[in-house]
Chains A and B, each alone.
Chain A
């Protein structure tokens, strides 16, 4: 087993635990960042679509189990997020690529997640986009970009490069 997979598996587990324990303290109104999506994007970025969707599915199941939400909801959204992170990584140039990929990944993840979460209720595109998806995406990208910046500065390595 490659060192990369073990390392990122550990990161994912830590992110899942932090998401369930620490992140709720950083909730602004109803919005909070998704650390699992950030780590998943970084992993899929380097490991490819197969591993990205696999990691997305299992981390999603784990998140579902911890969150007490509908089982499979996070699994679905994170599977798609993992796949998208891997496939969209080739669309951008090197400079700031991770942040752009994270933006797409997080946006689709939140769209899928909130769409299935609110399905059956009075559906409103405005609510879905403006109140749920975009603020959460923005928060996640902000946190992800900060972590990326700090991480690459401290370790002076291109950690998330493909």
Chain B
């Protein structure tokens, strides 16, 4: 009995299999029967929806990656842009320096300011050129705006320059219009003092002060600054003249050392 049941069960499954096989052939013969077309359309719509989701996911993923890449590129371009801006400004400054060099008809060593001096009691800057490049002690140092100072100490590859805003820096100067000669000095203020200009000398605010050429260190005609204010003290012999320096000492980047012993018609540039 049990064996018969097993046989029938087995035959039942065979019958079911035959029915399904028959139905499959029937489907193959009558391809695309009406009711199944609707089911197919429904299923295809579902698949299409899934494909659409997949596509959106891929698009999102691609956009995210693209966004990331663009952000990186944007950052790099910003950095390059900043560097180019710096290069442009440097180019303008150097052109002005070269123009100044031509007008002074002298020999120059181009130098870059690489630091502030650490010498106590001396206001100085450090340049990236030294004796090897031709720098000599006491050579005047100028920028595109005017006189900076003079070389105080030289080393093979570095020089220390005493700037005008130092207690010990004294420069023989001349008022550009009246041609009166005085001495420019610094007394710890944001401005320079022009000393020894007599009270009877007319001095106007805004007048340029240049090197006189009487000093053994500085050639004539280099701009030191402009007259900022003129006051008279009844008990003094001379006028109190404040001079605004032509050079912004806090923003110095490139300068020229004017050395008589430097190579003729040669500008040595050392970029470090």
Q: Which residues of A contact B (CB under 8 A)?
A: 17, 20-21, 48-50, 53-54, 56-57, 60-62, 64-66, 70-73, 75-76, 79-80, 83, 86-87, 116
Contact = CB atoms under 8 A, between A and B. Distances in A.
Given A21-B54, A65-B36, A53 B20 contact: yes
A80 B17 contact: yes
25 contacts: A17-B47, A20-B50, A21-B47, A21-B51, A49-B17, A53-B13, A53-B20, A57-B23, A60-B24, A61-B36, A65-B39, A66-B43, A71-B28, A71-B31, A72-B27, A72-B28, A73-B24, A75-B24, A76-B24, A79-B20, A79-B21, A79-B24, A80-B21, A87-B13, A116-B28
Interface string B1-44: 00000000010110011001101111111011100100110011
B27 A64 contact: yes
A17 to B, nearest CB: 6
Given A53-B13, A71-B27, A75-B27, A62 B20 contact: no
Given A65-B44, A79-B24, 5 more contacts: A20-B47, A53-B13, A65-B43, A73-B28, A80-B21
A54 B20 contact: yes
Interface in B90-131: none
B77 interface: no
A50 B13 contact: yes
A20 B43 CA distance: 10
A17 B24 contact: no
Contacts of B54: 21
A57 B50 contact: no
Interface residues of B, number: 27
A80 B32 CA distance: 22
B44 A66 contact: yes
A2 B147 CA distance: 100
Interface of B: 10, 12-13, 16-17, 20-21, 23-29, 31-33, 36, 39-40, 43-44, 46-47, 50-51, 54
A72 B36 contact: no
A57 B26 contact: no
Determine the main DSSP class of A at the interface with B: helix
A56 to B, nearest CB: 7
Residue among B20, B31, B33, B44 having the largest count of chain A Cβ atoms under 10 Å = B20
A54 B24 contact: no
Contact of A76 (B21, B40, B43): B21
A56 B13 contact: no
A17 B46 contact: yes
Contacts of A48: 13
A57 B24 contact: yes
A61 B13 contact: no
Contact of A70 (B23, B28, B51): B28
The 7 closest A-B pairs by CB, nearest first: A72-B27, A76-B24, A49-B13, A72-B28, A57-B20, A79-B20, A65-B40
Nearest to A86: B13
Nearest to B41: A65
Contacts of A86: 13
A56 B16 CA distance: 12
A79 B39 CA distance: 20
A60 B256 CA distance: 89
B20 A75 contact: yes
Contacts of A65: 36, 39-40, 43-44
Contacts of B16: 49-50, 53-54
Contacts of B27: 61, 64, 71-72, 75
A53 B43 CA distance: 22
A83 B17 contact: yes
Nearest to B32: A71
